[in-house]
């Protein structure tokens, strides 16, 4: 479970809070989507949730462990897929994955089995011996996904994971998300595409300008549409929510 309590963050030389007293609980056992337009504050929130960025204010708890008080313990629960799959380009893909597995102290037989099955599912087994710098963006993304799962973390956090993936790989990501929630693990991912959220999420939060505008299920979101034209798609509703927030500022 991920608990974000009144998180705020303002970047240096910025007038505006990138994230503004944001509170959100991501329970275990459901796929939770974090949806919002570009610049809404998704990446900033996710980096604070992972302990990669220190909040100015507020508190992060991972499975009840305070990120501030016990960062190593909290981080050991997390598998994180960055929005930018740039890694150590000179390392071979397998070396990078092994490096991550070493950090998390994953026993060698366990990691071998996990890496092999994931590499097969994502169809990159044949390029694991190639330097990361020689791989396409999509392949780097797959390496990043595999390395985020190598220690079988309780909390899987992904920032825009579907960007740059082919449909088959997106399908696998979705399958893995589903498998993990069935095992009562935690899955939290961001996207700026309503359609992606609609296809995958059990529950979602919509963020705009650093603030949460909506939290609930897709059905809750659909019910907001009552009284409006039934032609309105969720995409339309999402845009309206974000626009009405804009017009209040
Ligand atoms: N490193 C940074 N320095 C200054 N401003 C930043 C930095 N990263 C993000 N921002 C700003 O913070 C806001 C939120 O950005 P971000 O969290 O990346 O949004 P999202 O992931 O939803 O697109 C934006 O206004 C963005 O320009
Ligand atoms: Mg982002």
pLDDT given for residue 227 in this prediction: 61
In DSSP terms, 92 is beta-bridged to 131
Q: What is the pLDDT of residues 125-181, one digit of tens each?
A: 999 999 999 999 999 999 999 999 999 999 999 999 999 899 999 999 999 999 999
How sure is the predictor about 243, in pLDDT bands with cuts at 50, 70 and 90? Answer: confident
User: How many angstroms does the Cα of residue 2 sit away from the middle of ligand 1?
Assistant: 21
Question: How high does pLDDT run on average in the chain?
Answer: 93
How sure is the predictor about 206, in pLDDT bands with cuts at 50, 70 and 90? Answer: very high
Indicate the CATH number for domain 1-77+187-249. 3.40.50.300
User: How many angstroms does the Cα of residue 43 sit away from the middle of ligand 2?
Assistant: 4
CA-nearest residue, atom 27 of ligand 1: 39
Query: From the CB of 15, is ligand 1 less than 6 Å away?
Result: no
- Of 17, 24, 39, 189, the residue with max ligand 1 atoms within 8 A of its CB, to mutate for a pocket test, comes to 39
User: How many angstroms does the Cα of residue 35 sit away from the middle of ligand 1?
Assistant: 15
Query: From the CB of 36, is ligand 1 less than 6 Å away?
Result: yes
Instruction: For residue 17, give the ligand nearest its CA.
Output: 1
Checking if the pLDDT of 232 tops 90, the result is no
CA-nearest residue, atom 4 of ligand 1: 11
Q: How far apart are CA 9 and CA 16, in angstroms?
A: 9
Q: What is the pLDDT of residues 71-106, one digit of tens each?
A: 999 999 999 999 988 888 999 999 999 999 999 999
Q: What is the pLDDT of residues 182-191, one digit of tens each?
A: 999 999 999 9
First to last CA, the chain: 33
* pTM (predicted TM-score): 0.94
pLDDT given for residue 20 in this prediction: 98
Query: From the CB of 14, is ligand 1 less than 6 Å away?
Result: yes
Question: Measuring CA to CA, which residue among 99, 189, 89 is closest to residue 150?
Answer: 99
User: How many angstroms does the Cα of residue 46 sit away from the middle of ligand 1?
Assistant: 11
Query: From the CB of 191, is ligand 1 less than 6 Å away?
Result: no
CA-nearest residue, atom 2 of ligand 1: 11
Domain boundaries, the chain: 1-77+187-249
Q: How far apart are CA 249 and CA 238, in angstroms?
A: 18
Checking if the pLDDT of 197 tops 70, the result is yes
Answer with the residue of higher pLDDT: 199 or 247. 199
* E strand spans, 178-232: 186-191, 203-208, 211-216
Write the CB contacts of 47 (distance below 8 Å, at least 6 apart in sequence): 53
């Amino acid at each position: 479970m991920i608990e974000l309590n009144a998180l705020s963050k303002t970047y240096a030389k910025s007038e505006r809070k990138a994230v503004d007293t944001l509170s959100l609980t991501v329970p275990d056992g459901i796929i939770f989507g974090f949806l919002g337009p570009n610049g809404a504050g998704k990446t900033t929130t996710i980096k604070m949730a992972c302990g990669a960025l220190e909040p100015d204010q507020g508190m992060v708890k991972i499975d009840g462990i305070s990120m501030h008080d016990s960062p190593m313990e909290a981080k050991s629960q997390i598998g994180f897929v960055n929005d930018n799959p740039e890694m150590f380009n000179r390392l071979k893909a397998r070396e990078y994955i092994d490096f991550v597995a070493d950090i998390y102290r994953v026993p060698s037989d366990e990691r071998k089995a996990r890496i092999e099955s994931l590499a097969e599912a994502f169809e990159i087994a044949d390029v694991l011996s190639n330097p990361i710098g020689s791989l396409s963006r999509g392949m780097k993304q797959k390496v990043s996904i595999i390395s985020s799962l190598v220690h079988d973390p309780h909390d899987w956090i992904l920032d825009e994971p579907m960007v740059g993936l082919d449909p088959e790989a997106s399908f696998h990501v979705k399958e893995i998300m589903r498998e993990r929630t069935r095992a009562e693990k935690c899955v939290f991912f961001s996207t700026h595409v309503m359609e992606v959220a609609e296809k995958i999420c059990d529950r979602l939060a919509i963020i705009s300008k650093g603030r949460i505008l909506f939290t609930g299920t897709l059905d809750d979101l659909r019910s907001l549409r009552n009284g409006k034209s039934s032609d309105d798609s969720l995409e339309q509703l999402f845009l309206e929510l974000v626009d009405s927030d804009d017009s209040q500022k």
